[in-house]
């Protein structure tokens, strides 16, 4: 789960990491008031779930409270990569001497959290990794002990950070590792970590992504979930407990099992169609889940036809057929539905579909071709 910069900084501050003084505003007037309260020049930063806000014009200085209001009014409501800006973070402007990078990710190969530190701060770390990998120092966290302070200092020293940063920066990295592990993070990044001319070391920007599977025990962070403007359907699907991804075609896809649904998307594309979504109803789904899934997919205005592809094991064909039939009455008139059933209860299910006048497919390829043809016939 993505969270905003100000929320990530909130988490870091709880672990004793110095962050920039600042507050969130939703109106230009609030931004002005915050700037007045902070005193001195500020930076107004768009709070949206994407990187590259600066380049998009979503980060601007305000030398006076009036100017803070002015730039806030420009940034609020702005569209950044399809996301509408609804909040800005107003922080004190720093007198920056140097910028560094520190981040932690889960590394599949080492099967552990891996720390990356670089002198090249403020840049996209993937770009640094691609162009000058020698500038990144990596360290695998030993999950038995966590990151120890001396290891943190050693990493910073190897990354070539100046002596003045080693002690404070080491404490920050140690705290970041603790925050990462205890918050069920997948990614935790401070970019940049800054050294100011008066010798302060602090996080000037932060990014944290929380592991969805850890949300059951991260209740406060889970409560921070909010819809992404570009994906209201995905947000609603999550609330309804559906594993759903919005895509940009016009054929709705429902199946059981992530791999099978992905394979079905590929098959539809091979047959000349464009999938509108990914939806996995999981294992052992009852008719009610099938009905909910079908009605949900049909509620997407882009969808012009739907393919249901089920390989029955613990999911039973009769249940799927019953769900499809129940959903039928609630679907937009003339919406073509093609159902492919195999495995447990497939014959019973097919008989039910036939009685209800619904189309079923022999196999996945047949299903894909049938739904593509049905959608083409409508266009």
Residues recognised as catalytic:
101, 189
243-246 and 251-255 beta bridge pairing: unpaired
User: Rounded to whole angstroms, what are the CA distances from 17 to 168, 200, 287?
Assistant: 9, 12, 50
User: Binding of another protein at residue 106 (CB under 8 A)?
Assistant: yes
Radius of gyration of the chain (CA): 26
The first and second tokens of residue 313, run together, are 């094991």
User: 77 near 25, Cβ under 8 Å?
Assistant: no
From 40, 132, 143, 354, residue interacting with another protein (rule: CB under 8 A): 143
Q: Which residue lies nearer to another protein by CB, 125 or 204?
A: 125
User: Binding of another protein at residue 136 (CB under 8 A)?
Assistant: no
Mark 4-43 with x for binding to another protein (rule: CB under 8 A) and - for no binding: ----------------------------------------
Distance CA 167, CA 174 (A): 11
Give the start-end residues of each E strand in the chain.
22-25, 42-46, 59-62, 79-80, 83-84, 88-92, 96-107, 112-118, 136-140, 185-196, 201-203, 206-210, 243-246, 251-255, 277-280, 305-312, 337-343, 359-361
Segment contacting another protein by CB under 8 A, of 61-69, 93-101, 267-275, 354-362: 267-275
Smallest gap from Cβ 267 to another protein, in A, equals 6
Binders of another protein in range 161-180 (CB under 8 A): none
From 171, 260, 351, 373, residue interacting with another protein (rule: CB under 8 A): 260
Number of residues that bind another protein (CB under 8 A): 47
* DSSP track, 272-338: T--B-EEEE--SS--HHHHHHHHHHHHTSTT-SEEEEEEEESSS-HHHHHHHHHHHHTTSPTT--EE
List, in order, residues 6 or more apart from 371 with CB less than 8 Å away.
Answer: 251, 268, 273, 305, 306, 307, 336, 338
Helix (H) or strand (E) holding 71: helix 65-75
Smallest gap from Cβ 199 to another protein, in A, equals 35
Q: Which residue lies nearer to another protein by CB, 154 or 184?
A: 184
Q: Is 252 helix (H, G, I), strand (E, B) or coil?
A: strand
Mark 182-221 with x for binding to another protein (rule: CB under 8 A) and - for no binding: --x-x------------------------xxxx-xx----
Segment contacting another protein by CB under 8 A, of 4-12, 103-111, 152-160, 165-173: 103-111
Smallest gap from Cβ 210 to another protein, in A, equals 10
206-210 and 251-255 beta bridge pairing: unpaired
Q: Which residue lies nearer to another protein by CB, 24 or 346?
A: 346
Smallest gap from Cβ 7 to another protein, in A, equals 19
User: 254 near 269, Cβ under 8 Å?
Assistant: no
Binders of another protein in range 59-88 (CB under 8 A): none
Smallest gap from Cβ 194 to another protein, in A, equals 25
Distance CA 303, CA 276 (A): 6
Binders of another protein in range 313-372 (CB under 8 A): 313-314, 342-344, 364-365
Smallest gap from Cβ 27 to another protein, in A, equals 31
Binding site for another protein (CB under 8 A): 106, 108-109, 111-113, 126, 143-144, 181, 184, 186, 211-214, 216-217, 243, 245, 247, 255-263, 265-267, 269-270, 275, 278, 280, 283, 311, 313-314, 342-344, 364-365
């Amino acid at each position: 789960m993505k969270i905003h910069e100000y929320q990530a900084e909130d988490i870091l501050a709880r672990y004793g990491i110095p962050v920039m003084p600042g507050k969130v505003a939703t109106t230009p007037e609030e931004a002005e008031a915050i700037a007045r309260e902070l005193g001195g020049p500020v930076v107004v930063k768009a709070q949206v779930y994407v990187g590259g806000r600066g380049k998009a014009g979503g980060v601007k200085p305000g030398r006076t409270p009036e100017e803070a209001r002015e730039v806030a009014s420009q940034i609020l409501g702005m569209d950044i990569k399809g996301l509408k800006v609804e909040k800005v973070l107003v922080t004190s402007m720093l007198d920056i001497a140097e910028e560094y990078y520190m981040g932690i990710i889960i590394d599949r190969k080492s099967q552990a959290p891996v720390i990356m530190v670089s002198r090249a701060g403020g840049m996209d770390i993937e770009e640094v990794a691609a162009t000058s990998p020698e500038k990144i120092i990596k360290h695998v966290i030993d999950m038995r002990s966590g990151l120890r302070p001396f290891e943190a200092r050693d990493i910073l020293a190897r990354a070539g950070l100046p002596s003045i940063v080693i002690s404070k920066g080491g404490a920050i990295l140690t705290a970041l590792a603790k925050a990462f592990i205890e918050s069920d993070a997948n990614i935790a990044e401070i970019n940049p970590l800054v050294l100011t001319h008066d010798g302060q070391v602090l996080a000037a920007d932060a990014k944290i992504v929380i592991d969805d599977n850890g949300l059951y025990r991260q209740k406060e962070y889970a409560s921070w979930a909010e819809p992404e403007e570009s994906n209201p359907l995905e947000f609603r699907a999550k609330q309804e407990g559906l594993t759903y991804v919005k895509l940009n075609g016009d054929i709705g896809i429902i199946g059981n099992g992530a791999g099978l649904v992905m394979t079905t998307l590929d098959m539809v594309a091979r047959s000349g169609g464009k999938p509108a979504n990914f939806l996995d109803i999981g294992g052992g789904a009852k008719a009610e889940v099938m009905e909910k899934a079908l009605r949900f997919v049909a509620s997407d205005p882009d969808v012009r036809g739907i393919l249901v592809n089920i390989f029955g094991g613990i999911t039973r064909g009769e249940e799927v057929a019953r769900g499809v039939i129940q959903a039928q009455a609630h679907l937009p008139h003339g919406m073509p539905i093609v159902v492919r059933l195999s495995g447990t209860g497939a014959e019973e299910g097919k008989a039910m579909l036939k009685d209800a006048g619904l189309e079923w497919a022999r196999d996945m390829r047949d299903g894909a071709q049938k739904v593509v043809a049905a959608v083409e016939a409508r266009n």
